[in-house]
Amino acid sequence: MIPNHSHLLPDAEAVGIDGVARPDKPEEACGVFGIYAPGEDVAKLTYFGLYALQHRGQESAGIATFVGEKVYLHKEMGLVSQVFNESILEELPGDIAVGHTRYSTTGSSRVVNAQPAVVPTRLGSLALTHNGNLVNTVQLREELQKSHCNLVTTTDSELIALAIADEVNSGKAWLEGAIAAFQRCQGAFSLVIGTPAGVMGVRDPNGIRPLVIGTLAGNPQRYVLASETCGLDIIGAEYLRDVEPGELVWITEAGLASFHWAQQPQRKLCIFEMIYFARPDSIMHSESLYTYRLRLGRQLAQESPAKADIVIGVPDSGIPAAIGFAQASGIPYAEGLIKNRYVGRTFIQPTQMMRESGLRMKLNPLKDVLAGKKIVIVDDSIVRGTTSCKLVRTLRDAGAVEVHMRVSSPPVTHPCFYGIDTDSQDQLIAATKSVAEIAAQIEVDSLAYLSQEGMLKVTQEDTNTFCTACFNGDYPISVPETVKRSKLMLEKVVV
């Protein structure tokens, strides 16, 4: 059942503090979820899993379920809570489900590009969900067109699904065909794939995007896959382990089987997952990311102290580091900005009058907390600098006498090609300006970033197991020159 969707919401981004449609943050690609649980309401469990992963993408959402070889699919533009309701979920029967919540990095924001991507094969249809970005999209597309594959979307995710179908249709079984297809893919991909026979969870050889395995409470033979552990927690599933870089887990009625399909996997987890993208209550390296972000703030206070009356964080992602900064510096932590938690994504654009009058849909200052104070404001990153400037002005308008900004990551100087939507290099403020020039542009009394060494040190892990390309241009997966030229516009970087 593939519904005919005619209603499309216009492309738009969440409105920030300054009324600008595009947030001054890197945007994550997607959240993926899958479940094998005969006898359970898999559609509803997937709905709640996606609900917990909503922060990873807010453009579209979809769920596919399987009853034998029959696929039931519903996907639409909008938030998970807007796309699904009780009656829709009741029309998604089965023992297997895969789900997706999307922010587009390859392919425009249209319902045809929403996932799961469902593709027919000789063994029945597969439903694929993808977090990441391929770098050999053009080459793979040409190969598939020569094989007369039917391309429906403009996403790299569909190409992965079609590559699996191409291999399966040549006579291979699900497992053999999938592994052959993954070896044709280059880039970042964490995948959850539903088939009539079972569910696959897959990570690329570098494991750039996360993927975890859980079991339903009280039934260890009922398995769950999710981008983050928060997707397990919401349904009471117990974290088992991560899918390893270059690993395929195959979940069927026989249980969970593991296959290491890549010859030389080398872990390079995106460090921004730990700094910003993943929810603070998600677990990585046996601890919550909240705890890691506290350490970032403490390290930042040691590296770049400031004299101030209070420390505040930019809600929500800057708050753990701000608390850590306050703990290490001895400066009291306070809430200076209140977030409107019911804004979500709006498709209604403000008028120019609203923008000029200081429309504050997401953040509002506490004037009595800020008035007459010297403030340290901590954020996790600055990408373009546009929102930072408006935010600083808001704090000064609320009565702050000094504003010192501290950033719990290094300057973002290079674009990402692995599933994060960052601009071309000339749009990244730290690629074209020194720290002093950025401070002048965003109108702060002082500005300091965390060092790359400090950021990696406080992971308490092997520092060579992270991708830090957005900070230093050291890309772990070779990016074709044609792809690079679209984003790497500058010959040298000012740090």
Catalytic (active-site) positions: 30
The DSSP 8-state label assigned to residue 186 in this structure reads -
Per the listing, tokens 């907390």 go with 369
Answer for the pair 77, 109: CB distance below 8 angstroms, yes or no: yes
| Residue type present at position 244 | E
| Residue type present at position 30 | C
Q: How far apart are CA 368 and CA 400, in angstroms?
A: 10
Give the CA angle between residues 327, 329, 332 to the nearest 5°.
65
Task: Find out whether 426 is annotated in a ligand binding site.
Answer: no
> At how many degrees (to 10) do helices 289-303 and 319-329 cross?
50
Residue 138: how many CB atoms within 10 A of its CB? Answer: 14
Answer for the pair 137, 188: CB distance below 8 angstroms, yes or no: no
Stated as kind and residue range, the H or E segment containing 421 is strand 420-421
Task: Find out whether 379 is annotated in a ligand binding site.
Answer: yes
Q: 95, 43, 91, 72: which is closest to 199 by C-alpha?
A: 95
Q: How far apart are CA 275 and CA 230, in angstroms?
A: 16
End-to-end CA distance of the chain: 53
Structure tokens at 472: 């230093």
Q: How far apart are CA 190 and CA 351, in angstroms?
A: 40
Task: Find out whether 104 is annotated in a ligand binding site.
Answer: no
Answer for the pair 36, 199: CB distance below 8 angstroms, yes or no: yes
Task: Find out whether 434 is annotated in a ligand binding site.
Answer: no
The DSSP 8-state label assigned to residue 272 in this structure reads H
Structure tokens at 356: 């000029």
Q: Which residues contact 452 (CB under 8 A, 6 or more apart)?
A: 410, 468, 471, 472
Task: Find out whether 389 is annotated in a ligand binding site.
Answer: no
| Residue type present at position 466 | F
Task: Find out whether 270 is annotated in a ligand binding site.
Answer: yes
Q: In whole angstroms, how far apart are CA 91 and each of 41, 63, 94, 406?
A: 11, 11, 10, 50
Task: Find out whether 470 is annotated in a ligand binding site.
Answer: yes
Q: How far apart are CA 347 and CA 78, in angstroms?
A: 10
Q: Per the annotation, where are the binding residues for Mg(2+)? A: 317, 379-380
Binding residues: 270, 317, 379-380, 416, 467, 470
